[in-house]
């Protein structure tokens, strides 16, 4: 039978271990823990307003407040990067527990409003996940939204009905404290999303949290 002093020491150790376990999910990720590209400093979520595929006004900052938000600027005629990003995110969300997946908001802003009618954009996104939000607007409004994130405005490439659009190829991850912290470039795999999304969701972020 351990002495009273030993029993008290063991109780203190066990309590400390429980505190460590309880707090493990709240500490910011260590350098290299996330597979996306971590920004040197968090970037505030901008407050641009565009239009949903249902015709409603959508204030990006207000409507996505408090959720893990994945923002992407792309277009439905994109031959590779856009559908791969959307397909990979949708596949991983479909495998996450509902209590986690329901905390993720995916927003795609079209950079090709001329061809991406609300109906086409909605149909295209529904092919991946019906919860994905599609936004459109004038070229000027979309370009302004990109500039608010220090992104170069998309550029039309070529003539005729089958033209391409050059655009930023990465998904921006905004943590629930409304800060952009991680970028996911073209080539991000499903295994990368499956690794990072739970970490981004379970970390207790604050505006001053280090990356």
pLDDT surpassing 90 at residue 35: yes
Helices within 96-166 (DSSP H only): 98-101, 118-126, 139-147
CB atoms under 10 Å from CB of 185, counted, come to 13
Phi, psi of 44 (to 5 degrees): -60, 145
Comparison of pLDDT for 99 and 26, the residue scoring more: 99
Each residue of 126-173: pLDDT tens digit? 999 999 999 999 999 999 999 999 999 999 999 889 999 999 999 999
8 A C-beta contact, residue 200 and residue 211: no
Tokens of 15: 């309590």
What proportions of the chain, in percent to the nearest 5, are helix, strand and coil? Answer: 35, 25, 40
54-68: per-residue pLDDT in tens?
999 999 999 999 999
Nearest to 121 by CA among 171, 51, 181, 170: 51
Instruction: Convert 134-187 into a string of H (helix), E (strand) and C (coil).
Output: EEECCHHHHHHHHHCCCCCCCEEECCCCCCEEECCCCEEEEECCCEEEEEECCC
Domain 4-202: which topology?
A: Glutaredoxin (3.40.30)
Average pLDDT over the chain, rounded to whole?
86
pLDDT single digits (tens) 94-110 = 999 999 999 999 999 99
pLDDT at position 73 is: 97
In this prediction, residue 20 carries a pLDDT of: 32
What pairing do the DSSP bridges indicate for beta strands 155-157 and 164-166? antiparallel
The CB density around residue 105, as the number of other CB atoms within 10 Å, is 18
User: In 3D, which of 59, 68, 73 has the Cα closest to residue 146?
Assistant: 73
Answer yes or no: is pLDDT of 4 > 90. Answer: no
**Residue of higher predicted confidence among 53 and 1:** 53
Q: Which tokens in the block code for residue 101?
A: 């997946």
Per-residue pLDDT band for 183 (boundaries 50, 70, 90) equals very high
Q: Compute the distance between CA of residue 137 and CA of residue 50 in angstroms, rounded to an integer.
A: 6
Q: What is the predicted pLDDT for the residue at 29?
A: 62
């Amino acid at each position: 039978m351990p002495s009273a002093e030993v029993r008290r020491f063991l109780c203190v150790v066990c309590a400390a271990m429980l505190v460590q376990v309880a707090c493990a999910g709240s500490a910011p990720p260590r350098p290299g823990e996330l597979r996306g590209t971590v920004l040197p400093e968090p970037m505030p979520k901008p407050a641009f307003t565009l239009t949903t595929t249902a015709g409603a006004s959508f204030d990006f900052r207000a409507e996505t407040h408090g959720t893990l938000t994945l923002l992407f600027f792309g277009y439905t005629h994109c031959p590779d990067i856009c559908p791969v990003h959307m397909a990979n995110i949708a596949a991983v969300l479909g495998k996450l527990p509902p209590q986690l997946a329901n905390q993720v908001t995916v927003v795609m802003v079209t950079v090709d409003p001329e061809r991406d009618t609300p109906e086409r954009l909605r149909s295209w996104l529904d092919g991946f996940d019906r919860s994905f939000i599609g936004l459109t607007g004038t070229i000027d409004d979309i370009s302004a939204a990109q500039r608010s994130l220090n992104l170069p405005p998309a550029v039309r490439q070529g003539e005729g009905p089958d033209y391409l659009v050059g655009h930023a190829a990465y998904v921006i991850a905004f943590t629930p404290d409304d800060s952009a912290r991680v970028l996911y470039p073209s080539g991000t795999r499903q295994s990368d999303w499956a690794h990072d999304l739970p970490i981004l969701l379970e970390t207790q972020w604050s505006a001053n949290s280090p990356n």
